[in-house]
Structure 1
Amino acid sequence: MKLICGILLIVFGALLFSKVHNIDDFADALRTQQVPVTMIILGAIILLISWFGCCGAIRESYCMSMTYSILLFVLMIGQLALVIYMWVQKDKFLGIMGDTVERAWEHRTRRSDYMDAIQISMKCCGRSGYADYSYQGKFPPSCCRDTNNCSNATVYPIGCKVAFVEFWDRNSDIIKYAGLVIAGIEFVGFIFACCLANSIRNYRRRADY
Protein backbone atom coordinates (compact mmCIF):
# COMPACT_ATOMS: atom_id res chain seq x y z
CA MET A 1 0.00 0.00 0.00
CA LYS A 2 2.77 2.42 0.93
CA LEU A 3 4.57 1.48 -2.29
CA ILE A 4 1.54 2.48 -4.39
CA CYS A 5 1.09 5.73 -2.44
CA GLY A 6 4.75 6.61 -2.93
CA ILE A 7 4.59 6.00 -6.69
CA LEU A 8 1.38 8.04 -7.04
CA LEU A 9 2.86 10.97 -5.09
CA ILE A 10 5.96 11.00 -7.32
CA VAL A 11 3.89 10.78 -10.53
CA PHE A 12 1.45 13.55 -9.56
CA GLY A 13 4.25 15.72 -8.20
CA ALA A 14 6.25 15.30 -11.42
CA LEU A 15 3.20 16.21 -13.52
CA LEU A 16 2.68 19.38 -11.51
CA PHE A 17 6.38 20.27 -11.52
CA SER A 18 6.52 19.86 -15.32
CA LYS A 19 4.62 23.15 -15.54
CA VAL A 20 7.78 25.07 -14.55
CA HIS A 21 9.78 24.17 -17.67
CA ASN A 22 9.50 27.74 -18.98
CA ILE A 23 11.06 29.30 -15.87
CA ASP A 24 14.71 30.09 -16.32
CA ASP A 25 15.59 30.37 -12.66
CA PHE A 26 15.31 26.93 -11.03
CA ALA A 27 15.38 28.47 -7.53
CA ASP A 28 12.30 30.46 -8.50
CA ALA A 29 10.67 27.22 -9.62
CA LEU A 30 11.35 25.65 -6.24
CA ARG A 31 9.75 28.60 -4.44
CA THR A 32 6.63 28.72 -6.58
CA GLN A 33 6.21 24.94 -6.81
CA GLN A 34 6.60 23.97 -3.17
CA VAL A 35 3.62 21.61 -3.24
CA PRO A 36 4.79 19.37 -6.15
CA VAL A 37 8.39 19.37 -4.87
CA THR A 38 7.14 18.29 -1.44
CA MET A 39 5.00 15.58 -3.07
CA ILE A 40 7.99 14.22 -5.01
CA ILE A 41 10.26 14.19 -1.94
CA LEU A 42 7.60 12.61 0.27
CA GLY A 43 6.80 10.03 -2.41
CA ALA A 44 10.49 9.12 -2.74
CA ILE A 45 10.81 8.73 1.05
CA ILE A 46 7.72 6.51 1.24
CA LEU A 47 9.00 4.48 -1.74
CA LEU A 48 12.35 3.97 -0.01
CA ILE A 49 10.69 2.94 3.24
CA SER A 50 8.38 0.52 1.41
CA TRP A 51 11.35 -1.03 -0.39
CA PHE A 52 13.08 -1.78 2.90
CA GLY A 53 9.85 -3.24 4.30
CA CYS A 54 9.18 -5.49 1.29
CA CYS A 55 12.78 -6.70 1.01
CA GLY A 56 13.01 -7.27 4.75
CA ALA A 57 9.88 -9.43 4.77
CA ILE A 58 10.71 -11.39 1.59
CA ARG A 59 14.38 -12.01 2.40
CA GLU A 60 13.67 -12.39 6.12
CA SER A 61 16.41 -9.86 6.80
CA TYR A 62 16.64 -8.53 10.34
CA CYS A 63 18.72 -5.53 9.22
CA MET A 64 16.23 -4.45 6.53
CA SER A 65 13.23 -5.02 8.81
CA MET A 66 14.78 -2.88 11.54
CA THR A 67 15.73 -0.21 8.99
CA TYR A 68 12.11 -0.20 7.80
CA SER A 69 10.78 0.17 11.34
CA ILE A 70 13.24 2.98 12.16
CA LEU A 71 12.44 4.90 8.95
CA LEU A 72 8.73 4.43 9.58
CA PHE A 73 9.19 5.80 13.09
CA VAL A 74 11.11 8.82 11.76
CA LEU A 75 8.36 9.46 9.17
CA MET A 76 5.75 9.26 11.93
CA ILE A 77 7.68 11.74 14.11
CA GLY A 78 8.06 14.14 11.17
CA GLN A 79 4.36 13.89 10.43
CA LEU A 80 3.46 14.54 14.06
CA ALA A 81 5.81 17.53 14.10
CA LEU A 82 4.03 18.95 11.03
CA VAL A 83 0.61 18.42 12.64
CA ILE A 84 1.74 20.06 15.88
CA TYR A 85 3.22 22.96 13.90
CA MET A 86 -0.09 23.48 12.11
CA TRP A 87 -1.89 23.23 15.45
CA VAL A 88 0.13 25.79 17.41
CA GLN A 89 1.20 28.00 14.48
CA LYS A 90 -2.06 28.12 12.59
CA ASP A 91 -1.97 31.90 12.12
CA LYS A 92 1.60 31.73 10.82
CA PHE A 93 0.66 28.87 8.49
CA LEU A 94 -2.28 30.86 7.11
CA GLY A 95 0.08 33.79 6.63
CA ILE A 96 2.35 31.57 4.52
CA MET A 97 -0.67 30.59 2.40
CA GLY A 98 -1.46 34.27 1.90
CA ASP A 99 2.15 34.91 0.85
CA THR A 100 1.76 32.17 -1.79
CA VAL A 101 -0.95 34.24 -3.49
CA GLU A 102 1.20 37.36 -3.15
CA ARG A 103 4.07 35.63 -4.98
CA ALA A 104 1.73 34.33 -7.70
CA TRP A 105 0.40 37.87 -8.20
CA GLU A 106 3.89 39.35 -8.37
CA HIS A 107 4.91 36.81 -11.05
CA ARG A 108 1.73 37.18 -13.14
CA THR A 109 3.47 39.26 -15.84
CA ARG A 110 6.01 36.49 -16.47
CA ARG A 111 3.90 33.42 -15.68
CA SER A 112 0.15 34.00 -15.63
CA ASP A 113 -0.75 30.31 -15.25
CA TYR A 114 -0.01 30.33 -11.49
CA MET A 115 -2.56 33.07 -10.89
CA ASP A 116 -4.97 31.53 -13.38
CA ALA A 117 -4.79 28.18 -11.57
CA ILE A 118 -5.59 29.83 -8.23
CA GLN A 119 -8.44 31.87 -9.72
CA ILE A 120 -10.03 28.83 -11.37
CA SER A 121 -9.67 26.49 -8.40
CA MET A 122 -10.64 29.04 -5.70
CA LYS A 123 -13.28 30.85 -7.82
CA CYS A 124 -11.72 34.22 -7.08
CA CYS A 125 -10.30 37.16 -8.99
CA GLY A 126 -7.16 39.20 -8.42
CA ARG A 127 -5.09 39.44 -5.28
CA SER A 128 -7.57 41.54 -3.25
CA GLY A 129 -10.50 41.59 -5.69
CA TYR A 130 -11.42 42.03 -9.34
CA ALA A 131 -10.53 45.74 -9.08
CA ASP A 132 -6.86 44.67 -9.19
CA TYR A 133 -7.27 44.18 -12.95
CA SER A 134 -8.65 47.67 -13.55
CA TYR A 135 -5.25 48.75 -14.88
CA GLN A 136 -5.63 46.51 -17.97
CA GLY A 137 -9.27 47.32 -18.68
CA LYS A 138 -10.51 43.71 -18.78
CA PHE A 139 -10.58 40.56 -16.69
CA PRO A 140 -8.71 37.36 -17.58
CA PRO A 141 -11.06 34.46 -18.51
CA SER A 142 -10.04 32.58 -15.34
CA CYS A 143 -11.71 35.34 -13.29
CA CYS A 144 -15.22 34.67 -14.52
CA ARG A 145 -17.90 32.00 -14.25
CA ASP A 146 -18.47 32.34 -17.99
CA THR A 147 -15.07 32.37 -19.69
CA ASN A 148 -16.64 33.31 -23.03
CA ASN A 149 -18.34 36.37 -21.58
CA CYS A 150 -16.08 37.76 -18.86
CA SER A 151 -17.70 40.93 -17.53
CA ASN A 152 -18.74 42.59 -14.28
CA ALA A 153 -21.84 40.37 -14.23
CA THR A 154 -19.89 37.08 -14.30
CA VAL A 155 -16.66 37.98 -12.50
CA TYR A 156 -15.85 36.37 -9.14
CA PRO A 157 -16.25 39.08 -6.47
CA ILE A 158 -13.86 37.72 -3.83
CA GLY A 159 -10.08 38.25 -3.91
CA CYS A 160 -7.80 35.22 -4.16
CA LYS A 161 -5.77 35.95 -1.05
CA VAL A 162 -8.88 35.90 1.14
CA ALA A 163 -10.33 32.87 -0.67
CA PHE A 164 -7.09 30.89 -0.44
CA VAL A 165 -6.56 31.64 3.27
CA GLU A 166 -10.21 30.83 4.07
CA PHE A 167 -9.90 27.53 2.20
CA TRP A 168 -6.90 26.45 4.29
CA ASP A 169 -8.55 27.78 7.45
CA ARG A 170 -11.61 25.58 6.81
CA ASN A 171 -9.58 22.48 5.95
CA SER A 172 -6.68 22.79 8.42
CA ASP A 173 -8.56 20.83 11.10
CA ILE A 174 -9.30 18.02 8.63
CA ILE A 175 -5.61 17.89 7.69
CA LYS A 176 -4.56 17.83 11.35
CA TYR A 177 -6.90 15.04 12.39
CA ALA A 178 -6.17 13.03 9.25
CA GLY A 179 -2.45 13.41 10.00
CA LEU A 180 -2.99 12.11 13.52
CA VAL A 181 -4.93 9.09 12.24
CA ILE A 182 -2.25 8.27 9.66
CA ALA A 183 0.46 8.70 12.30
CA GLY A 184 -1.46 6.25 14.53
CA ILE A 185 -1.59 3.72 11.68
CA GLU A 186 2.13 4.20 11.10
CA PHE A 187 2.78 3.61 14.80
CA VAL A 188 0.90 0.29 14.61
CA GLY A 189 2.97 -0.58 11.53
CA PHE A 190 6.12 0.33 13.45
CA ILE A 191 5.16 -2.07 16.28
CA PHE A 192 4.45 -4.91 13.84
CA ALA A 193 7.71 -4.23 11.98
CA CYS A 194 9.66 -4.41 15.25
CA CYS A 195 7.90 -7.68 16.12
CA LEU A 196 8.74 -9.09 12.68
CA ALA A 197 12.39 -8.08 13.02
CA ASN A 198 12.55 -9.62 16.49
CA SER A 199 10.97 -12.85 15.19
CA ILE A 200 13.51 -13.03 12.36
CA ARG A 201 16.39 -12.48 14.79
CA ASN A 202 15.11 -15.19 17.17
CA TYR A 203 14.60 -17.59 14.27
CA ARG A 204 18.15 -17.01 13.05
CA ARG A 205 19.52 -17.54 16.57
CA ARG A 206 17.64 -20.83 16.96
CA ALA A 207 18.81 -21.94 13.51
CA ASP A 208 22.43 -21.34 14.49
CA TYR A 209 22.23 -23.74 17.43
Structure 2
Amino acid sequence: MSCGISMVKYILFIFNLLCSICGILLIVFGGLLFSKVHNIDDFAEALRTQQVPVTMIILGTIILLISWFGCCGAIRESYCMSMTYSILLFVLMIGQLALVIYIWVQKDQLLKIMGDVVEKAWAHRTRRSDYMDALQISMKCCGRNNYSDYSFQGKFPASCCDNTNNCSQGTVYKRGCKDAFVDFWDGNSEIIKYSGLVIAAIEFVGFVFACCLANSIRNYRRRADY
Protein backbone atom coordinates (compact mmCIF):
# COMPACT_ATOMS: atom_id res chain seq x y z
CA MET A 1 0.00 0.00 0.00
CA SER A 2 1.10 3.61 -0.61
CA CYS A 3 2.67 5.76 2.05
CA GLY A 4 -0.47 7.93 2.21
CA ILE A 5 -2.77 4.99 2.83
CA SER A 6 -0.41 3.61 5.46
CA MET A 7 -0.61 6.97 7.18
CA VAL A 8 -4.43 6.81 7.03
CA LYS A 9 -4.27 3.38 8.62
CA TYR A 10 -2.26 4.60 11.58
CA ILE A 11 -4.31 7.79 11.92
CA LEU A 12 -7.42 5.62 12.04
CA PHE A 13 -5.77 3.49 14.70
CA ILE A 14 -5.05 6.60 16.80
CA PHE A 15 -8.61 7.86 16.37
CA ASN A 16 -9.94 4.53 17.57
CA LEU A 17 -7.75 4.81 20.65
CA LEU A 18 -9.30 8.24 21.28
CA CYS A 19 -12.78 6.77 20.82
CA SER A 20 -11.88 4.01 23.26
CA ILE A 21 -10.86 6.61 25.83
CA CYS A 22 -14.12 8.50 25.23
CA GLY A 23 -16.05 5.27 25.71
CA ILE A 24 -14.28 4.61 29.00
CA LEU A 25 -15.04 8.18 30.14
CA LEU A 26 -18.72 7.70 29.28
CA ILE A 27 -18.81 4.49 31.33
CA VAL A 28 -17.12 6.17 34.29
CA PHE A 29 -19.29 9.29 34.15
CA GLY A 30 -22.46 7.25 33.69
CA GLY A 31 -21.44 5.10 36.65
CA LEU A 32 -20.98 8.21 38.80
CA LEU A 33 -24.43 9.48 37.82
CA PHE A 34 -25.96 6.07 38.44
CA SER A 35 -24.42 5.91 41.92
CA LYS A 36 -26.37 9.05 42.81
CA VAL A 37 -29.77 7.49 42.13
CA HIS A 38 -29.42 3.69 42.39
CA ASN A 39 -30.74 3.66 45.96
CA ILE A 40 -34.14 4.87 44.79
CA ASP A 41 -34.70 2.27 42.09
CA ASP A 42 -38.11 1.27 43.47
CA PHE A 43 -39.73 4.16 41.64
CA ALA A 44 -36.92 5.05 39.26
CA GLU A 45 -38.44 2.96 36.48
CA ALA A 46 -41.66 4.93 36.56
CA LEU A 47 -39.89 8.31 36.66
CA ARG A 48 -36.94 7.26 34.48
CA THR A 49 -34.28 8.65 36.78
CA GLN A 50 -31.80 5.99 35.68
CA GLN A 51 -32.44 6.29 31.95
CA VAL A 52 -29.64 8.75 31.20
CA PRO A 53 -26.81 7.13 33.24
CA VAL A 54 -27.69 3.61 32.09
CA THR A 55 -27.80 4.79 28.47
CA MET A 56 -24.39 6.42 28.92
CA ILE A 57 -22.90 3.22 30.34
CA ILE A 58 -24.33 1.12 27.49
CA LEU A 59 -23.24 3.68 24.89
CA GLY A 60 -19.73 3.84 26.36
CA THR A 61 -19.46 0.06 26.27
CA ILE A 62 -20.58 -0.05 22.63
CA ILE A 63 -18.11 2.69 21.68
CA LEU A 64 -15.32 0.81 23.41
CA LEU A 65 -16.10 -2.47 21.63
CA ILE A 66 -16.51 -0.87 18.19
CA SER A 67 -13.29 1.10 18.64
CA TRP A 68 -11.29 -2.01 19.37
CA PHE A 69 -12.95 -3.67 16.37
CA GLY A 70 -11.81 -0.72 14.24
CA CYS A 71 -8.27 -0.96 15.58
CA CYS A 72 -8.08 -4.60 14.54
CA GLY A 73 -9.49 -3.82 11.09
CA ALA A 74 -6.93 -1.07 10.51
CA ILE A 75 -3.89 -3.02 11.69
CA ARG A 76 -4.87 -6.22 9.84
CA GLU A 77 -5.84 -4.25 6.71
CA SER A 78 -9.10 -6.15 6.42
CA TYR A 79 -11.64 -4.69 3.99
CA CYS A 80 -14.54 -6.59 5.56
CA MET A 81 -13.69 -5.51 9.11
CA SER A 82 -12.99 -1.90 8.07
CA MET A 83 -16.27 -1.60 6.16
CA THR A 84 -18.26 -3.23 8.94
CA TYR A 85 -16.60 -0.89 11.41
CA SER A 86 -17.54 2.11 9.23
CA ILE A 87 -21.19 1.10 9.13
CA LEU A 88 -21.34 0.40 12.87
CA LEU A 89 -19.61 3.69 13.66
CA PHE A 90 -22.03 5.62 11.44
CA VAL A 91 -25.07 4.02 13.08
CA LEU A 92 -23.59 4.69 16.51
CA MET A 93 -22.91 8.32 15.63
CA ILE A 94 -26.50 8.85 14.44
CA GLY A 95 -27.88 7.21 17.59
CA GLN A 96 -25.63 9.31 19.79
CA LEU A 97 -26.65 12.54 18.07
CA ALA A 98 -30.29 11.54 18.48
CA LEU A 99 -29.72 11.07 22.22
CA VAL A 100 -28.01 14.47 22.52
CA ILE A 101 -30.83 16.16 20.61
CA TYR A 102 -33.40 14.40 22.79
CA ILE A 103 -31.69 15.63 25.97
CA TRP A 104 -31.38 19.11 24.48
CA VAL A 105 -35.04 19.36 23.43
CA GLN A 106 -36.54 17.57 26.42
CA LYS A 107 -34.33 19.21 29.05
CA ASP A 108 -37.19 21.01 30.82
CA GLN A 109 -39.28 17.84 30.87
CA LEU A 110 -36.37 15.80 32.23
CA LEU A 111 -35.76 18.36 34.98
CA LYS A 112 -39.45 18.24 35.86
CA ILE A 113 -39.18 14.46 36.14
CA MET A 114 -36.20 14.84 38.48
CA GLY A 115 -38.22 17.23 40.62
CA ASP A 116 -41.02 14.68 40.74
CA VAL A 117 -38.52 12.11 42.02
CA VAL A 118 -38.02 14.15 45.17
CA GLU A 119 -41.76 14.71 45.53
CA LYS A 120 -42.25 10.94 45.28
CA ALA A 121 -39.51 10.29 47.82
CA TRP A 122 -41.03 12.80 50.23
CA ALA A 123 -44.47 11.23 49.84
CA HIS A 124 -43.03 7.82 50.80
CA ARG A 125 -40.98 9.04 53.76
CA THR A 126 -43.42 7.80 56.43
CA ARG A 127 -43.57 4.34 54.90
CA ARG A 128 -40.04 3.92 53.48
CA SER A 129 -37.67 6.55 54.88
CA ASP A 130 -34.75 5.10 52.93
CA TYR A 131 -35.95 6.93 49.79
CA MET A 132 -35.42 10.32 51.38
CA ASP A 133 -32.32 9.18 53.24
CA ALA A 134 -30.72 8.08 49.97
CA LEU A 135 -31.29 11.52 48.45
CA GLN A 136 -30.14 13.40 51.54
CA ILE A 137 -26.93 11.43 51.88
CA SER A 138 -25.97 11.50 48.19
CA MET A 139 -26.99 15.14 47.55
CA LYS A 140 -26.09 16.55 50.98
CA CYS A 141 -29.49 18.13 51.35
CA CYS A 142 -32.33 18.06 53.86
CA GLY A 143 -36.08 17.90 53.34
CA ARG A 144 -38.09 18.45 50.20
CA ASN A 145 -37.72 22.26 50.04
CA ASN A 146 -35.34 22.81 52.99
CA TYR A 147 -34.56 21.51 56.50
CA SER A 148 -37.66 23.26 57.95
CA ASP A 149 -39.80 20.54 56.35
CA TYR A 150 -38.87 18.37 59.35
CA SER A 151 -40.05 20.93 61.93
CA PHE A 152 -43.24 18.96 62.45
CA GLN A 153 -41.35 16.05 64.00
CA GLY A 154 -39.07 18.12 66.24
CA LYS A 155 -35.78 16.57 65.07
CA PHE A 156 -33.77 15.97 61.95
CA PRO A 157 -32.92 12.54 60.51
CA ALA A 158 -29.28 11.52 60.74
CA SER A 159 -29.00 11.61 56.93
CA CYS A 160 -29.42 15.40 57.04
CA CYS A 161 -26.01 15.96 58.65
CA ASP A 162 -22.37 15.04 58.20
CA ASN A 163 -22.20 14.36 61.93
CA THR A 164 -24.91 11.73 62.36
CA ASN A 165 -24.42 11.64 66.13
CA ASN A 166 -25.28 15.30 66.58
CA CYS A 167 -27.72 16.45 63.92
CA SER A 168 -29.09 19.81 64.99
CA GLN A 169 -30.20 23.00 63.28
CA GLY A 170 -26.64 24.29 63.40
CA THR A 171 -25.14 21.31 61.57
CA VAL A 172 -28.02 20.29 59.29
CA TYR A 173 -27.79 20.69 55.49
CA LYS A 174 -29.56 23.92 54.64
CA ARG A 175 -30.43 23.17 51.04
CA GLY A 176 -33.60 21.35 50.03
CA CYS A 177 -33.30 18.09 48.09
CA LYS A 178 -35.59 19.14 45.25
CA ASP A 179 -33.39 22.08 44.25
CA ALA A 180 -30.20 20.06 44.83
CA PHE A 181 -31.38 17.12 42.71
CA VAL A 182 -32.69 19.27 39.86
CA ASP A 183 -29.55 21.44 39.81
CA PHE A 184 -27.39 18.31 39.80
CA TRP A 185 -29.07 17.03 36.64
CA ASP A 186 -29.24 20.51 35.11
CA GLY A 187 -25.47 20.93 35.40
CA ASN A 188 -24.63 17.43 34.25
CA SER A 189 -26.99 17.61 31.27
CA GLU A 190 -24.74 20.32 29.81
CA ILE A 191 -21.71 18.06 30.22
CA ILE A 192 -23.60 15.18 28.60
CA LYS A 193 -24.66 17.30 25.62
CA TYR A 194 -21.30 18.83 24.77
CA SER A 195 -19.26 15.72 25.49
CA GLY A 196 -21.68 13.81 23.25
CA LEU A 197 -21.12 16.30 20.42
CA VAL A 198 -17.34 16.08 20.80
CA ILE A 199 -17.44 12.29 20.75
CA ALA A 200 -19.75 12.33 17.70
CA ALA A 201 -17.28 14.61 15.89
CA ILE A 202 -14.42 12.21 16.65
CA GLU A 203 -16.55 9.30 15.44
CA PHE A 204 -17.35 11.14 12.19
CA VAL A 205 -13.65 11.66 11.46
CA GLY A 206 -13.05 7.99 12.22
CA PHE A 207 -15.91 7.05 9.89
CA VAL A 208 -14.41 9.06 7.01
CA PHE A 209 -10.93 7.58 7.52
CA ALA A 210 -12.37 4.06 7.81
CA CYS A 211 -14.23 4.45 4.50
CA CYS A 212 -11.05 5.74 2.82
CA LEU A 213 -9.02 2.86 4.22
CA ALA A 214 -11.60 0.23 3.21
CA ASN A 215 -11.77 1.62 -0.33
CA SER A 216 -7.98 1.69 -0.58
CA ILE A 217 -7.69 -1.90 0.65
CA ARG A 218 -10.24 -3.03 -1.97
CA ASN A 219 -8.48 -1.19 -4.79
CA TYR A 220 -5.08 -2.49 -3.68
CA ARG A 221 -6.29 -6.09 -3.69
CA ARG A 222 -7.92 -5.63 -7.10
CA ARG A 223 -4.67 -4.39 -8.56
CA ALA A 224 -2.76 -7.25 -6.87
CA ASP A 225 -5.02 -9.78 -8.58
CA TYR A 226 -3.96 -8.65 -12.04
Are the equivalent residues in 2 in contact too, given 1:144–1:150 (CA < 8 A)? Answer: yes
> Matched residue of 1:41: which SS?
helix
* Residue 129 of structure 1, aligned match among 123, 138, 146: 146
Superposed CA RMSD in Å reads 3.9
Structure 1 match to 2:158 = 141
- Structure 2: gaps (5+ residues): 1-17
Amino acid across the alignment from 1:72: L
> Matched residue of 1:84: which SS?
helix
Deviation at 1:181, TM superposition (A): 2.2
* Residue 56 of structure 1, aligned match among 55, 70, 73: 73
Moved more, 54-63 or 29-38: 29-38
When Rg is computed on C-alpha atoms for both structures, the one with the higher figure is 2
Structure 2 match to 1:46 = 63
Amino acid across the alignment from 1:208: D
Deviation at 1:92, TM superposition (A): 0.8
Runs of 4+ displaced beyond 6 Å: 11-25
Structure 1: distance between partners of 2:176 and 2:37: 25
Are the equivalent residues in 2 in contact too, given 1:102–1:127 (CA < 8 A)? Answer: yes
Structure 2 match to 1:101 = 118
Amino acid across the alignment from 1:144: C
Could you list the per-position Cα deviations for residues 174-202 of structure 1 after superposition, in whole angstroms to 9, with x for gaps in the alignment? Answer: 43233222222221121111111112111
* Residue 189 of structure 1, aligned match among 206, 216, 219: 206
For the pair 1:86 / 2:126, whether they are aligned, the reply is no
Structure 2: distance between partners of 1:139 and 1:87: 38
Amino acid across the alignment from 2:221: R
- Structure 1: gaps (5+ residues): none
Moved more, 4-13 or 80-89: 4-13
Amino acid across the alignment from 2:76: R
Moved more, 111-120 or 28-37: 28-37
Are the equivalent residues in 1 in contact too, given 2:79–2:214 (CA < 8 A)? Answer: yes
Structure 1: distance between partners of 2:87 and 2:143: 46
Structure 1 match to 2:167 = 150
Structure 1: distance between partners of 2:99 and 2:192: 10
Moved more, 119-128 or 105-114: 105-114
Structure 2 match to 1:165 = 182
Structure 1: distance between partners of 2:120 and 2:82: 44
Structure 1: distance between partners of 2:220 and 2:129: 61
> Matched residue of 1:126: which SS?
coil
Deviation at 1:39, TM superposition (A): 4.0
Are the equivalent residues in 2 in contact too, given 1:20–1:29 (CA < 8 A)? Answer: no
Amino acid across the alignment from 1:119: Q
Amino acid across the alignment from 1:202: N
Using the size of structure 2 for normalisation, the TM-score is 0.70
Number of residue pairs the alignment of both structures matches: 209
Moved more, 61-70 or 99-108: 99-108
Instruction: Pick 1 or 2: higher relative contact order, CA cutoff 8 A, min separation 6.
Output: 2
Deviation at 1:135, TM superposition (A): 5.9
Amino acid across the alignment from 1:151: S
> Matched residue of 1:149: which SS?
coil
